[in-house]
Amino acid sequence: MDFKSKMSRAFRFFFLGFAVLWTVAAFLGTFTDYERHKALALNNTCRIVEGPVENFVPMPYTGHADESFTVSGIPFKYSDYSVTDAFNQTLSHGGPIDRDIYVRICYDPKGNAILRLEIRNFSGPVKRYTEPNSPFSQSTQESHGTLNVPGNMAAVNPLPWYSSLFFWLYLVDIAATQSLYLPYIRTFFRISRAPVDSQEIPRSLLTNIKVRLRNSTVYWDRANQAMWLLPRGFNRLRLMSVVAKLNTDIANTTITSSEIYFSSGVPIILALFFWTAYLLFSQTMPTDGPGPSAGEFVGMVVILATIGGFIQIRMDRARMVLLVQDALQDLRGIG
């Protein structure tokens, strides 16, 4: 291995380690605030302020500034573009707070984060901040006399039960591919085929058993004249939805060609994901704003994702071709 390849590998592992550390640090930071806010709200130990909304300054639709107001001299500010578990839905994005309304707020004095918001004579749907609307949870609605309690995604209805289906199908796709579950693997889309110069199959290679090579795992399905090839190690992380197939002759003595396959479940998973995104954005994006509608926004994302997906498939196919060549070389050395 030359110096350049060593540096390339070191950079990849450094980047992966940095990404993991960054993700862990970000999670711990937000989770700590979430646990604190949840305890304050559920135990009713947060501070309470009540009165009319004063000094209201709305956030522009495009952001670039916080929405702010005061209640009895206590300042509050928030933005749809900030990551928080507290209330942050602005008026320009369908939020319930406006000038001259009467509110009662349960808040965390550390940063004045709004944990529970009650609005006199509020007529919209009610949602607890501790039950955020997401593809993985359902919301509940309740009323409290003349004061209703919208949470950080007020006026958003719960998503249907199947909105989280893309996540579970993704896990099933990974598990089935990683385990080389052949009934599923055989449904994959073939994206390339290439001949092999009649390479003999090693006599010592076992059938119907996963055999580890340097950068891949091979499974000889002798009954169907096929040898399935699965990337392993770091290559598996880069090629999550791609496998290869080495075709053999009728006598199962020679490898005659190679084929590369792409997961048949990924298009379904992506379709469900974008449908969930549309359901979510259609409830949170205003219909009368200057920006695109939820359908237009998701449509643009779908187009960009489709273009990026074709580019990624071509890159994955090229990487898998190299892995097939590497596996053929390993099989020659088995003897």
Cα(68)–Cα(320) distance, rounded to whole angstroms?
Answer: 53
Residue 159's pLDDT is what?
61
Using DSSP's 3-state secondary structure scheme, residue 143 falls into strand
Cβ neighbours of 179 (radius 10 Å): 12
Pair 183, 261 in one domain: yes
Using DSSP's 3-state secondary structure scheme, residue 221 falls into strand
Is 316 among the domain residues? yes
Using the 3D structure, point to which of 134, 157, 180 is the last residue of a domain: 157
Is 321 among the domain residues? yes
Q: Is 101 exposed, middle or buried (0-12, 13-18, 19+ CB in 10 A)?
A: middle
Cα(249)–Cα(70) distance, rounded to whole angstroms?
Answer: 79
**Confidence grade of residue 317 (pLDDT, cut at 50, 70, 90):** very high
Pair 212, 224 in one domain: yes
Which one of 4-8, 23-27, 292-296 scores highest in mean pLDDT? 292-296
Q: Is the pLDDT of residue 149 over 80?
A: no
Distance of CA 53 to the CA centre of its chain: 37
Is 43 among the domain residues? yes
Phi and psi (nearest 5°) for 113? -70, 130
Two tokens at 136?
A: 């993985």
Is 230 among the domain residues? yes
Pair 182, 135 in one domain: no
| Domain extent at residue 132 | 21-157
Pair 207, 321 in one domain: yes
Average pLDDT, stretch 114-125?
Answer: 82
The percent of residues above 70 in pLDDT, for the chain, comes to 76
Is 152 among the domain residues? yes
β 242-248/254-262 pair status: antiparallel
Number of domains in the chain: 2
Residue 199's pLDDT is what?
87
Pair 71, 164 in one domain: no
**Terminal CA-to-CA distance of the chain, rounded, Å?**
25
Pair 168, 153 in one domain: no
Pair 122, 219 in one domain: no
Using the 3D structure, point to which of 157, 187, 218 is the last residue of a domain: 157
Using the 3D structure, point to which of 106, 124, 157 is the last residue of a domain: 157
Measured at the alpha carbon of residue 277, what is the angle toward residues 169 and 190, in degrees to the nearest 5? Answer: 45
Pair 309, 186 in one domain: yes
Is 8 among the domain residues? no
116 pairs with which residues across the strands? 106
Is 179 among the domain residues? yes
Pair 153, 163 in one domain: no
Pair 274, 314 in one domain: yes
Residue 140's pLDDT is what?
34
Pair 141, 220 in one domain: no
Cβ neighbours of 117 (radius 10 Å): 26
Residue 216's pLDDT is what?
92
pLDDT tens-digit map of 31-81: 777 788 888 888 888 899 999 999 999 988 776 788 999 999 999 999 887
Pair 25, 174 in one domain: no
* 214 neighbors 326 (Cβ within 8 angstroms): yes
* 221 neighbors 201 (Cβ within 8 angstroms): no
Q: Is the pLDDT of residue 4 over 80?
A: no
Residue 3's pLDDT is what?
46
